[in-house]
Amino acid sequence: MTEKNEFKSLDKSMRRRRIVDTAIRIFHEKGYRSATLDDVAKELGLTKAALYHYVASKRELLSIIYIQALESFFATMYEIGERDLTPPEKLRLLIRHHIKHIVIENLPMFGVFFSEENQLPDKDYQKIREEKRKFTLVVEKVIEAGIEQGYFRPVDGRIQAYAVIGMCNWLYRWYKPGKSSYGPDEIADHFIDLVEKGLVRVPGEEGSSVMRESMPRRRELIEQMKLESKILSDLIKDLERFV
């Protein structure tokens, strides 16, 4: 069955999903500005005129991608915020879910989501901004509840929420499926440990894990630390926009 015939055999909702998935891949690979509706139509085995039966423009297609991302990604995160768990348990679950099931499982979509926001029509842009603020508020409330209940140090909840979310989101820039030295759960464990314990050693604490590793492994860890330092530096620059 040809690509065109296969597309025609799908029901309307599945055709729309196929169009969106194809656009995500092409926008991610070529960049939104360079990609065209002709590229999407060609990939689907359609004419551009046939594609216009489903979307009116490239910008409308981009808006659909963002709306789908919001509906798919954030619903579970809101639900986690309402669970009957302690603030530390909620924060761990939020971080793990965000890393594994939002960013890593949807890297191409996240690549589009974070790089093409300013291409949206103003109405959709404002809606996306509002939904992102709502999501940040979920994390902020968990942190503030943890402070009130004595689980967390007294810190600025909003800044900490930006830091946690930014740390998780930035994965889309450096995580390479099948090429990373660490799996999704290992990364989640590391990020959770970083949030809960920081980097400064407690006096009397057992020697660092780096010193206990073999020389090749030490070099690998050092390179990873260099990468993470750059990521944190870039994150701080991003966070300065909110201050």
CATH code, domain with 26: 1.10.10.60
Q: What is the CA radius of gyration of the chain?
A: 21
**Residues 81 and 129 grouped into a single domain:** yes
Q: Which residues of the chain have pLDDT under 50?
A: 1, 208, 210-213
**Residues 177 and 214 grouped into a single domain:** no
Instruction: Give the CB-side neighbour count of residue 31, counting CA atoms within 13 A.
Output: 3
pLDDT for residue 5: 60
For the question of whether the overall pTM of this predicted structure is more than 0.75, the answer is no
- What does the alpha-carbon distance between residue 15 and residue 64 come to, in Å, rounded to a whole number? 14
Helix (H, G, I), strand (E, B) or coil at 190: helix
**Tokens of residue 137, six digits:** 């508020």
Name residue 189's amino acid: D
**Residues 90 and 134 grouped into a single domain:** yes
- How many domains does the chain divide into? 3
pLDDT for residue 128: 81
**Residues 195 and 222 grouped into a single domain:** no
**Residues 85 and 120 grouped into a single domain:** yes
**Residues 49 and 86 grouped into a single domain:** no
- What does the alpha-carbon distance between residue 181 and residue 159 come to, in Å, rounded to a whole number? 30
**Residues 151 and 169 grouped into a single domain:** yes
**Residues 134 and 159 grouped into a single domain:** yes
**Residues 141 and 111 grouped into a single domain:** yes
pLDDT for residue 135: 87
Structural domain boundaries enclosing 235: 210-243
